[in-house]
Chain A
Amino acid sequence: MNEHLSTERIIDFVHGELSPADDALAHAHLAACSDCREAYEIEALLSEALRSAAKAEELEMPSLVTAAVWDRIRQAKPSSASRLAAWLRPAYAIPVAAALLVGGFFASPLAHRAGPTIDATYYLEAHAAQAAQTPLSERSSSLVLETSMIANPTSSAFVDASADGLATTGAIDDVR
């Protein structure tokens, strides 16, 4: 390779930025050409001088820089957006959502779909009617008795029972 290396090529060579093939060519040329070698050494020394000059005046970062950074951060206040975001974090959001869901359910008509209401008159009438049909049940017998007593207050059972003050017991025994 007889052609001299351009300064640009030498600079790229110094910085290791030539392709492997070009790097090998430049290397071979520098070994053979003293003019280019001198130019290369100048470039290499310039890089070296820049590095050593920088090293010679290397500074520590003043502590007031660190202090000023922390100072600005200490003054930080959460924005309304970040407060909202904090509330939307799962740790808060899941219990809150669950509470709202449960509360919402009981407040809604869904919670009151438990069936029709029965008023007291209906209950008494229906129950009495049922009891009349099943006279052998213990509970129904007293009802039957009471009903019959109302129907016939002069029955002997009623009179006897009321005489010894054990109206209910006597009446039940009597029926048995």
Chain B
Amino acid sequence: MGEPRTPLEPPSPEQAAFLERAMTQYGKATYNFAYRLTGNESDARDLSQDAFIRVYRAWRSFQPGTSFLSWIYRIVTNLYRDELRRRKGRFQEEIPEDNAPQEFSGQRPLAVTPIEDYVDRQLGEPLSRALAQLSSDQRQVVVLADIEEYSYQEIAEIMGCSIGTVRSRLHRARALLRRLVERARTQQER
């Protein structure tokens, strides 16, 4: 995926121990994060592998006392963004980018299904599908805000953007999610 194939240096014992610990403790979280961003296991494997190679290369730049998970999520986010840039042209995203005009008006949705429907056991699958249909930036914000429960400030640091951008991406993403979930539900009912 994104990690360049420049030669690696053989590890020092500390560096090998750092990587070992990183993969043991954070491998699962990293892989799941990568899976939610990419939406498939093959890309998630490549992305996780590249992320840990980057951890290995840049291990000295990790500041002890700060969150390792935030650090590796930032690495994953950057690698994923690079990869999407590389793939652009080969794959066109179906969902418009953040700046494209959308139907969302900033008002509460006019028609909402009864609240109980949202806790329906069937919601999981349409929600996962809906998540896959968001733009990559929107998906990252939703994953970080709602699944990983990071603050807007932390998400801004991980994604390298402003808090305002995080906020607007989240608002748009959630409006789309609501719509996509509702659409999925009505199609199911037919």
Contacts and interface: CB of A to CB of B under 8 A. Distances in A.
Same complex: yes
B159 interface: no
A53 B121 CA distance: 10
B9 interface: yes
B142 to A, nearest CB: 7
A82 B30 CA distance: 30
A54 interface: yes
A4 B108 contact: yes
Contact of A39 (B108, B118, B142): B108
Contacts of B30: 61
B100 interface: no
B109 A82 contact: no
A72 B7 CA distance: 9
B175 A7 contact: yes
Contacts of A149: none
A15 B145 contact: yes
Interface string B34-60: 011000010011001100110010000
A5 to B, nearest CB: 8
B71 interface: no
B11 interface: yes
Given A6-B107, A11-B174, A76-B10, A42 B52 contact: no
Interface in A101-116: none
Nearest to B8: A76
Contacts of B123: 49, 53
A64 B45 contact: yes
Interface residues of A, number: 46
A120 B52 CA distance: 78
A28 B150 CA distance: 25
Contacts of A160: none
Interface in A20-64: 35, 38-39, 41-43, 45-54, 56-62, 64
12 contacts: A7-B109, A42-B115, A46-B177, A46-B178, A49-B127, A59-B35, A59-B41, A61-B23, A64-B45, A72-B8, A73-B8, A76-B10
Interface of B: 7-11, 16, 19, 23, 27-28, 30-32, 35-36, 41, 44-45, 48-49, 52-53, 56, 106-109, 112, 115, 118-119, 123-125, 127-128, 131, 142-143, 145-147, 149, 151-152, 167, 170-171, 174-175, 177-178, 181
